[in-house]
């Protein structure tokens, strides 16, 4: 499967017995919208909810929606009816915002047959795609097996080694937050966090790779990549506030044929903590 699928192509695939549709909608805490209520109001036919914020996450971590253990992820995927042969398409209600996070989670757990609906529910509706209402229906358990892909997931230790020039290969860091947060001129929305960015990081606010709620074409994304000073080879680690919009950049890179981007799961929610002075912070433009 390609990393992105259009509404028209997905409409043509409805009815495929291996097709699994997942609604991964999530909104920032200040947003009054409720993804669960929105799902019952309108969702793609047969879709299931993929809630990475309160359910499919590491419940032992104080950080928001961290990746669960492979065992926990495997159990959650099986409960959604996902198997080794499943062709997964993920979407969200905002167009492109939360779905890439769920896409990245499946990639990081070794399932490559996963795509994101480009433009999400708004594009689907505009294309005349069918809509269902009401709660999701139960699925027969699948046989999904988690096979963690280490190249997809970075820790604070990995990022610190990159910052200090101690990584085992040339590694660049890209931050998906908006420029004011990256530069440190705007306070972080979560309490207890310093302002700024990892030393040496580059900044591509995630909305730069989008246009009208969809991903830009590959040529545009490659130009944005180059303009930010990012290489088109070697390792790149993406960060953001909590690992969601970093995944938007990871999917952008994959859709444009750029090297695999590793996502720093803890992102600024971990790195920026006042209690982590060993994790250095810089301010100003890249």
- CA distance from start to end of the chain: 35
Residues 6+ apart with CB under 8 A from 181: 188, 195, 241, 268
Choose the catalytic residue: 47, 240, 251, 261: 240
Neighbour order of strands in the sheet with 202-203: 153-154, 261-264, 235-239, 171-175, 202-203
Does the annotation mark 92 as catalytic? no
Number of helices (H), then strands (E), in the chain? 10, 12
Q: Would you call 140 exposed, middle or buried from its count of C-beta atoms within 10 A (0-12, 13-18, 19+)?
A: exposed
Give the tokens for residue 76.
Answer: 């959650």
Task: Name residue 171's beta-bridge partners.
Answer: 235
* Secondary element (H or E) of residue 211: strand 210-211
Q: How many other CB atoms are there within 10 angstroms of residue 178's CB atom?
A: 17
Task: Supply the residues annotated as catalytic.
Answer: 240
């Amino acid at each position: 499967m390609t990393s992105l699928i259009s509404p028209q192509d997905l409409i043509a695939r409805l009815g495929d017995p291996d097709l699994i549709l997942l609604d991964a909608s999530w909104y920032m805490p200040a947003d009054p919208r409720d993804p669960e209520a929105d799902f019952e109001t309108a969702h793609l036919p047969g879709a299931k909810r993929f809630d990475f914020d309160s359910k499919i996450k590491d419940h032992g971590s104080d950080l928001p929606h961290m990746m669960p253990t492979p065992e926990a992820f495997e159990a959650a995927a099986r409960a959604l009816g996902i198997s080794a042969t499943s062709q997964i398409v993920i979407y969200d209600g905002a167009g492109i915002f939360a779905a890439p996070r769920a896409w990245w989670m499946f990639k990081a757990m070794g399932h490559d047959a996963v795509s994101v609906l480009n433009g999400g529910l708004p594009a689907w509706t505009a294309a005349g795609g069918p809509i269902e209402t009401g709660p999701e229906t139960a699925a027969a358990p699948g046989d999904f097996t988690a096979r963690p892909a280490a190249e997809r997931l970075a820790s604070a230790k990995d990022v610190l080694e990159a910052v200090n020039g101690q990584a085992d290969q040339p590694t660049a860091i890209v931050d998906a937050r908006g420029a004011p947060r990256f530069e440190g001129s705007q306070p972080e929305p979560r309490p207890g966090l310093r302002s700024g960015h990892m030393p040496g990081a580059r900044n591509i606010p995630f909305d730069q790779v989008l246009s009208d709620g969809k991903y830009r074409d590959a040529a545009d994304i490659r130009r944005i990549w180059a303009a930010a000073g990012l290489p088109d080879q070697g390792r790149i680690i993406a960060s953001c506030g909590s690992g969601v919009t970093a995944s938007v950049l990871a999917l952008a890179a994959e859709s444009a044929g750029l090297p695999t981007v590793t996502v720093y799961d803890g992102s600024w929610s971990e790195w920026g903590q006042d209690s982590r002075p060993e994790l250095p912070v810089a301010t100003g433009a890249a």
